[in-house]
Chains A and B, each alone.
Chain A
Amino acid sequence: MMGKEKADKGDDIMRRIMIQRDLCMGCLNCGLACMAEHNEKGKSIYDLDLEDLKNESRNHIGLDKERRPVPIFCRHCDEPECVYTCMSGAMTKDNETGKVAYDENKCASCFMCVMACSYGVLKPDDVGKKVVVKCDMCMDREMPRCVENCPTGCLYIEGGNQA
């Protein structure tokens, strides 16, 4: 069980995808990597059909008022609004790993989480409008695929066992 002490300590060492914003050149390799990793037809980039709307990236690159690219990636927040607002139990915070996990089978598609995410990371899926498009840190993969495919070093991992 997670006592308070452990939860606090967990905050410091939690594994996160870090962003060196100035290094982002908006190449969208991260988005392609994410789509490929979560493609049900296979994980190779050659399996990825970009005309198939089912393939959606769980992160995105925004453009600020100066038209500079900004990576918008799920932070798996310490105090996750999406979890507080979830009335089905689909969105949960794992205090051990720090991950905010989403279980689409539990989801009731109310999209309160989309409304609640202060950083505009979440959206309903384009095709079915049934599930939430949400980063899973590539589950058990050693390195999230977006980080692995970032050519500039803008994305990198900190915390957890990888620190």
Chain B
Amino acid sequence: MKYLILGASAAGISCGKTLRELDPNGEITVVSADNRIYSRCMLHHMMGGEKSVEELNFAGDDFFSRYNISWIKETRVQKLKVGEKTVQLENGNILSYDKLLIATGAHAFIPPISNLREGKGVYPLRNLEDALAITERVKKVKDVLVLGAGLVGIDAVMGLIKHGLHVTVVEVGDRILPMQLDKLAASNYEKLLKMKGVTFYTGIGLQEVELDEENWVKAVKLQEGRRINCEMIIAATGIRPNIDFIEKDTIKMDRGILINDRCMTNVKDVYGAGDVCSTSPIWPIAVKQGTVAAYNMTGTEKRLEDSFGLKNSLNFLELQTVSLGLTEAPDDSFTVMLQHYKNNYKKVICKDGVIYGAILQGDISYCGVLTYLIKNKINISHIDKDIFDIEYSDFFKMKENGEYEYTV
């Protein structure tokens, strides 16, 4: 059997590893634009100097030899021909496959703001090359603007402040991390970041970018007219799936590739996993999809049981936060329970005995139970306990092999 995997990040790597475990003799090839295996989620640690480039490798230095996988690196895919079951690479080579996994990920989206795409000194933070370019450029600048205060934007801020730069953050939402946090939880991070000299403009967009004679960024103008000097911009403004090698009307799309719960596309023998899909672009989902795809590619039926994507853990400036499901009650049929002590903030959003969302800031110990209860919509109304005290003990059951499971 000839397996071909496009992409060497979370999804591609987990698929390759699982394929080898399931099929010791199959021929496995990975093609990737990346020339290293690295964790995108750790790029800011490299920018900040806490991790070396080598330490970003999440799969082990010897991954490809250990699992006997051929790797064609630094090579993009030009065209997928599903009829012929071949993939044409940018160097002209053509690879055939019996089973294909598309795990090409996504690229940074830079919005069409005047001069933002044209200017020099504007960087996304998506690939290792971006992080390396930023790390080079920061040596020559003092003022940096970060556009977008989502997870990538705040990651970028963390990497930048280590270099002693003055960082300004512009975010359209009314707070930083608007997808993950409510106002109070966000304000706690804003406070900590302000103490590090970071300036915030929330609830406002960018009007235009001003360039100097050589097209380098020199300032930005906000929508309200304020002008901010900056010599560099990090555009943390979302991602788009890498699908340009896929011919129209072959694989079904909805922003990303559409897959079923066996990670199959509508085209026979073509599977999808990770950020290239229309599912939530988070690490654990990419890993699980890669694994599930591998099972199905080798002929063992396996379904993705967990596609809960509304979860994030944050750890900035020694303040930890976990955000699960809803961050605000949609209407007053929901009950919101709050706990506030010392530097801890906890919030749980319930309706009819089911928890729909939670924010835990400060103490996040053992919070995986909440993740389970939320993603599986477990009714907890029969548990006569303070909601913040509910724990796995209340559902304890041990399987014969010693693993835990839930009694509900």
Contacts and interface: CB of A to CB of B under 8 A. Distances in A.
A120 B318 contact: no
Interface residues of B, number: 55
A69 B99 CA distance: 50
Contacts of B14: 84
A88 B368 contact: no
Given A4-B22, A75-B402, A118 B58 contact: no
B394 A64 contact: yes
B311 interface: yes
A41 B312 CA distance: 36
B333 interface: no
B41 A115 contact: no
B393 interface: yes
Interface string A106-126: 101111101111111111100
Chain B, interface SS category: mixed
B366 A121 contact: yes
B276 to A, nearest CB: 17
B401 A14 contact: yes
A23 to B, nearest CB: 13
Given A77-B403, A84-B284, A159-B402, A111 B364 contact: yes
Interface in B9-32: 10, 14, 20-24
Interface in A74-117: 75, 77-78, 81, 84-89, 95, 106, 108-112, 114-117
A70 B407 CA distance: 14
B371 A116 contact: yes
Q: How large is the interface on A (under 10, 10 to 19, 20 to 34, 35 or more residues)?
A: 35 or more
A65 B384 contact: yes
Contacts of B58: 86-89
A111 B401 CA distance: 27
Nearest to B311: A115
A63 B41 contact: no
> Which of A81, A86, A88 counts the most chain B CB atoms within 10 A?
A88
B283 A112 contact: yes
Contacts of A110: 41, 313, 315
Interface in B61-92: 67-68
A65 B385 CA distance: 6
A63 B23 CA distance: 44
Nearest to B396: A70
A11 B369 contact: no
A124 B320 contact: yes
A16 B401 contact: yes
B42 A120 contact: no
A91 to B, nearest CB: 10
A21 interface: yes
B60 A89 contact: yes
A18 interface: yes
Given A75-B404, A115-B311, A120-B392, A129 B318 contact: yes
Contact of B366 (A7, A77, A109, A122): A122
B339 interface: no
B51 interface: yes
Nearest to A111: B313
A80 B406 CA distance: 15
A115 B367 contact: yes
Contacts of B315: 109-111, 129
A139 interface: no
Contacts of A16: 401-403
A53 interface: no
B322 interface: yes
Contacts of A111: 313, 315, 320, 322, 364
Nearest to B321: A111
B384 A118 contact: no
Contacts of B21: 1-4, 7, 95
Contacts of A119: 368-369, 372, 392, 404
27 contacts: A17-B402, A18-B402, A64-B393, A65-B385, A75-B402, A78-B401, A84-B288, A84-B291, A88-B39, A89-B59, A106-B55, A108-B51, A111-B322, A114-B322, A114-B364, A114-B368, A115-B322, A117-B366, A118-B371, A118-B372, A118-B404, A120-B369, A121-B368, A121-B392, A123-B364, A124-B320, A158-B402
Given A16-B403, A118-B368, 20 more contacts: A4-B22, A16-B402, A21-B396, A21-B398, A60-B366, A64-B391, A64-B396, A65-B384, A87-B39, A89-B58, A108-B51, A111-B364, A114-B364, A114-B366, A115-B324, A115-B364, A119-B404, A123-B365, A124-B364, A159-B401
Interface of B: 10, 14, 20-24, 39, 41-42, 45, 51, 55, 57-60, 67-68, 283-284, 287-288, 291, 300, 311-313, 315, 318, 320, 322, 324, 364-369, 371-372, 383-385, 391-394, 396, 398, 401-404, 406
Interchain residue pairs A-B with the least CB separation, the first 8: A62-B393, A123-B365, A120-B366, A16-B402, A117-B368, A89-B58, A70-B393, A120-B369
